[in-house]
Amino acid sequence: MIGPELGKAGFTIGVFVTLVAAILLFVTEPNSAEFTISLLTFGIGVLFLLLIIVLVRLGIGKG
């Protein structure tokens, strides 16, 4: 459904967000507001990556 170029850009952004959030999970103190936001951001990043992968896979079959 999306082209490979757009998929690559989205994947790069998703990996960046997910990796930064994962690093922050190790740095911030558990049970703090920062930890909660980092955990939420990590989850959103993983979901975004999965969505990009599915959309690119669907686009490859039609191209």
Structural domain that includes position 23:
4-62
User: How far apart are alpha carbons 57 and 50 in whole angstroms?
Assistant: 11
54 and 23 Cβ atoms separated by less than 8 Å:
no
Report how many domains make up the chain. Answer: 1
Q: What contacts 25, CB < 8 A, 6 or more positions away?
A: 35, 38, 39, 42
2-21 residue pLDDT tens? 777 888 999 999 999 999 99
Residue 45: other Cβ atoms inside 10 A: 20
pLDDT band at 59 (very low <50, low <70, confident <90, very high): confident
* pLDDT at 63 > cutoff 60: no
